[in-house]
Structure 1
Amino acid sequence: MANSGVQSSSKFPNVNQCESEGHENHTVVTDMDGTLLIGRSSFPYFALVAFEVGGILRLLFLLLATPLAGLLYYYISESAGIRVLIFATFAGMKVSSIESVARAVLPKFYSSDLHPETWRVFSSCGRKCVLTANPRIMVEASLKEYLGADLVIGTEIATFKGRATGLVASPGILVGKNKADALRKAFGNTAPEIGLGDRKTDFPFMELCKESYVVPSKPEVVPVSLDKLPKPIVFHDGRLVHKLSPLMALLTILWIPVGFILACLRIAAGALLPMPLVYYAFWALGVRVNVKGTPPPPPKKSIGQSGVLFICSHRTLLDPIFLSTALGRPIPAVTYSLSRLSEIISPIKTVRLSRDRIKDANMIKKLLEEGDLVICPEGTTCREPFLLRFSSLFAELTDQLVPVAMSNRMSMFHGTTARGWKGMDPFYFFMNPSPAYEVTFLNKLPEDLTCSAGKSSHDVANYIQRMIAATLSYECTNFTRKDKYRALAGNDGTVVDKPKTKLAAKKVMGC
């Protein structure tokens, strides 16, 4: 809920009067909503957890409970209002699911809403503590992993057999006196040097600090840019592109049934129509495909000409389909893994890589003899303006290499996931009101830069990665598929199926 503002008569000075130098050995204690974050409402973050864990019905339940929470918050007690939000969001959820969303989804949104004045002071201190009424389980991963917090003290939720009950554990919601008590318990008789808050219920803990400052409410404040953070956010998960205010939550709930029908129409158009017509069908259905550069002509089989290998940056599993749409002809794609549903509805031929280097090399060579082929050597998708490390296998197999820079735009839903069911990825992408793809064909790699000219396969792969990154204004990284899944799903990208026999077969997760 929104935090009540601090009056100008506050006994604490404005945060802009706090110096940001000489605090290397000092401890700062800050409130979260409205202080460390610009946003004064915690509803958007509860809504993210509700949707990502519980889906549309849980989000609807939270939205219906919000008027009651607001009434209690503003007219009865701040604590009572927050209790309603916690119950509506968490009741019955698996604790592991909440932790997963807190680790993989929320950091992107929290990091995009940092108050510049608070961050200036917070980042300059040697020891950092965040004291918040929000559930600790929801905020701790973001604050420690990406914002450098050393200690996070928040409201503790009650659990039973691995599930949240929706109730709050002792000592209750951390507001007012409870915040001050929590600070005393954590620091004992040692008073932190700096305290930061934004409302009167923060004053009790601020009075325990040697010096304290108020962060005034200024909605027009521009948040800290992500490049100023101590750690870049390369990977993040979740279906929602933006935070949800109560109004946006209502619009999203109303849009999902309509969007799903529209997605089915768009997918059917791509799967059933001849590829030369798909571009125009997409345009009529609100999907934009922008093509730049000059693609190579189809190979001439009559003279024994082999196909080219299109090397694409990987944004969603639809990359090869939009490449084919841009070319006006179906181009087979080799994939590291794909859900069965995606294979069924795909308008192009998809061939799975076995991750056996020799087998995969022979298969790709055979496919190139039949015509053009597309591959995404990153091995997994990345949403942010970064390119993951390119596998070098493709450079050893052919010198006919055409780099393709792929980028897309989604306004409501992400068309990728690391934690959810990947079979829904195409549907979520096409559920956006007006999704767009930009396909940029770069010049075919000169022969003197290929392996046949003595270049190593790693040098070729790295060169193409840099070419595509420069075209998109992205940054090259050495992160791999395993790095992504370790960050978002807590594994290395493989899961073990429930064994049908005594032996359990390993299954590779999707892109």
Structure 2
Amino acid sequence: MPRIKKLFQLKYFSSLFEIIRKTSRKLPYLRLKFSQGIPASTQFKFLKNSSFTDEVSNQTLVFHLEGALLKAYSLFPYFMLVAFEAGGLFRALILLLLYPFVWLLGHELGLKVMVFVSFVGIKKEKFRAGTAILPKFFLEDVGVVGFDMVMKYKTKVAVTSMPRIMVECFLGDYLGIHVVIGKELKEFHGYFLGLMEENMDPATMCINNIGLGCFRNSRYQKIFSRCKEIYLVTEAEKKKWPVLPRKKSLKPLIFHDGSVSRFSEVISPIKTVRLTRDRKTDEETMKKMLSKGDLVVCPEGTTCREPYLLRFSPLFAEITDDIVPVAIKLQVSLFYGSTASGQKCLDSAFHLTNPNPTCLIMILNKLPGWQTHNAGGKSKFEVANYVQRQIATALGFECTNLTRKDKYAILAGNDGIV
């Protein structure tokens, strides 16, 4: 009898959930109150987010990441990114071909298929997509309204349908949310098996707390069935949310790029020379090249895809006082022309796949004599920082003190020397 009663309660809750979902698409937020896990159909009303967050901001909020924070409707793009960056082009192609099958299977089974294809055989210690790649794309999908609602609560618990390893860095480092409930990936001798472990039930964390999610379907009922109050947002409202501004995240700087590929050097219209990272050797090489004519130097060492400039190496300032800053801004609509962990030989192919890439080249004024190292008496660091500021201003970028080694430590866990 208790078993039948429990099933009846879940069925009742599911039916109420579906009725609300179908009849309330135009209403921004729904508030429901519960008594001992049983929904009380006579105790719900519609509220704006500004009113309910002020009432309960000192309580614990349990929110569904995909439903309450991210604007994206499908999880497929995130797994496609993992498959390509961590597994390579062939794995990504397999996942792409399986997409119609994944769509037909529905959320639960489709999710398991995407997890298996994306992660099976990937070495755990080398999986850096969750720390170096995915956060950028998660941030671009965060709705500012959902973010503001979540941030008003003192204690926040995130629940996700995705494997925990995919989101914990993004939530902890960039949003300051360190309690994440998600399934762990099974592994064998340091390699992912592509299967998720059935760990702690998320509903146990929701007792007497506040719940926040989206009611596009009823799969959230298990998460929120034991919350004393839940707030649900419609898909229609989420589409209207502006994207979270960069300045609102705790750590907006995300490095995501790599070195120039050998193939790109071969097809380059000008001769290229790789530096060795040894100061004396590089100085001799640059002087030799400069004696033959003009020399183009990338003092940043490597680039990032965000509007920031890394600290410039001051070596160029020591070699000559004849310095002309050049700012280059490349804009693409579909693919980036560089990858840090994928097939480098395909960089140019991906770049040319963009329908309408644009490249803006701005040749700035030559440095005045008083602003140089040898003639002007400025230190090499002052000259390098001055050139960095000039280029950053022209591009609308922000200067940083981070070096190439800092960038690679975040991106790949090494100093960038291969």
For the aligned pair, the TM-score class normalised by the smaller chain equals 0.7 to 0.9
1:377 positional shift:
0.6
Partner of 2:15: none
**Among 134, 146, 149, the residue aligned to 2:174:** 146
Q: Distance in 1 between matches of 2:171 and 2:99?
A: 26
Partner of 1:383: 305
Question: What's the CA shift string for 1:118-153, capped at 9, x where partnerless?
Answer: 211212223321111111122222111212111111
**Among 179, 204, 214, the residue aligned to 2:202:** 179
Q: Distance in 1 between matches of 2:96 and 2:120?
A: 14
Counterpart mapping for 1:311-350 below 5 A: 339-350=261-272
1:411 positional shift:
2.2
Alignment CA distance shift 1:378-1:400 (3 Å): same
Q: Distance in 1 between matches of 2:322 and 2:173?
A: 43
Counterpart mapping for 1:230-269 below 5 A: 230-237=250-257
In the alignment, is residue 222 of structure 1 matched against residue 235 of structure 2? no
**Amino acid across the alignment from 2:95:** L
1:228 positional shift:
2.0
Partner of 2:339: 417
Question: What's the CA shift string for 1:80-115, capped at 9, x where partnerless?
Answer: 332233233333333345x31111111111111112
In the alignment, is residue 426 of structure 1 matched against residue 367 of structure 2? no
1:459 positional shift:
1.2
Q: Distance in 2 between matches of 1:118 and 1:202?
A: 17
**Among 376, 379, 399, the residue aligned to 1:476:** 399
Partner of 1:201: 219
- The CA RMSD over aligned residues, in Å, is 2.8
> Matched residue of 1:133: which SS?
coil
Partner of 1:127: 155
**Amino acid across the alignment from 1:455:** K
Partner of 2:280: 358
Fraction of identical pairs, as percent: 45
Q: Distance in 2 between matches of 1:114 and 1:129?
A: 16
Decide whether the 8 Å contact of 1:27 with 1:127 is kept in 2. Answer: yes
> Matched residue of 2:161: which SS?
strand
> Matched residue of 1:382: which SS?
coil
Partner of 1:439: 361
Counterpart mapping for 1:34-73 below 5 A: 34-73=67-106
**Amino acid across the alignment from 2:357:** P
Alignment CA distance shift 1:126-1:363 (3 Å): same
Decide whether the 8 Å contact of 1:15 with 1:213 is kept in 2. Answer: no
Question: What's the CA shift string for 1:188-218, capped at 9, x where partnerless?
Answer: x7x43x3211133324433434432112212
**Among 125, 128, 148, the residue aligned to 1:100:** 128
**Among 110, 115, 120, the residue aligned to 1:86:** 115
Decide whether the 8 Å contact of 1:6 with 1:198 is kept in 2. Answer: no
**Among 193, 197, 202, the residue aligned to 1:165:** 193
In the alignment, is residue 462 of structure 1 matched against residue 385 of structure 2? yes
**Amino acid across the alignment from 1:180:** A
Q: Distance in 2 between matches of 1:82 and 1:490?
A: 29
Alignment CA distance shift 1:472-1:66 (3 Å): same
Q: Distance in 1 between matches of 2:190 and 2:97?
A: 26
Alignment CA distance shift 1:468-1:89 (3 Å): same
**Among 323, 330, 354, the residue aligned to 1:401:** 323
Q: TM-score, normalised by structure 1?
A: 0.67
Relative contact order higher in (CA < 8 Å, ≥ 6 apart): 2
Q: Which one is further off, 342-351 or 460-469?
A: 342-351
> Matched residue of 1:402: which SS?
coil
Decide whether the 8 Å contact of 1:234 with 1:386 is kept in 2. Answer: no
Q: Distance in 2 between matches of 1:60 and 1:14?
A: 45
**Amino acid across the alignment from 1:385:** P
1:20 positional shift:
4.6
1:7 positional shift:
4.2
Alignment CA distance shift 1:18-1:111 (3 Å): farther
Alignment CA distance shift 1:60-1:427 (3 Å): closer
Q: Distance in 2 between matches of 1:119 and 1:32?
A: 10
Q: TM-score, normalised by structure 2?
A: 0.81
**Amino acid across the alignment from 1:222:** P
Question: What's the CA shift string for 1:426-446, capped at 9, x where partnerless?
Answer: 343234333332111011111
Partner of 2:36: none
Q: Distance in 2 between matches of 1:421 and 1:60?
A: 14
Alignment CA distance shift 1:33-1:50 (3 Å): same
> Matched residue of 1:352: which SS?
coil
Partner of 1:212: 230
Q: Distance in 2 between matches of 1:363 and 1:163?
A: 43
**Amino acid across the alignment from 1:383:** R
1:18 positional shift:
4.6
Partner of 1:252: none
Task: Return 5+ residue gaps in structure 2 as ranges.
Answer: 1-17, 25-29, 33-45
Alignment CA distance shift 1:455-1:102 (3 Å): same
Alignment CA distance shift 1:14-1:150 (3 Å): farther
**Amino acid across the alignment from 1:215:** V
1:406 positional shift:
0.7
Alignment CA distance shift 1:53-1:465 (3 Å): same
Partner of 1:115: 143
Q: Distance in 2 between matches of 1:377 and 1:399?
A: 15
Q: Distance in 2 between matches of 1:227 and 1:122?
A: 17
How many residues were matched structurally? 378
Partner of 1:249: none
Decide whether the 8 Å contact of 1:14 with 1:214 is kept in 2. Answer: no
**Amino acid across the alignment from 2:406:** D
1:462 positional shift:
0.9
Question: What's the CA shift string for 1:27-79, capped at 9, x where partnerless?
Answer: 32110213111122211111211222333432333234333333332xxxx43
Q: Distance in 2 between matches of 1:23 and 1:369?
A: 70
Q: Distance in 2 between matches of 1:165 and 1:234?
A: 29
**Amino acid across the alignment from 1:373:** L
> Matched residue of 2:171: which SS?
helix
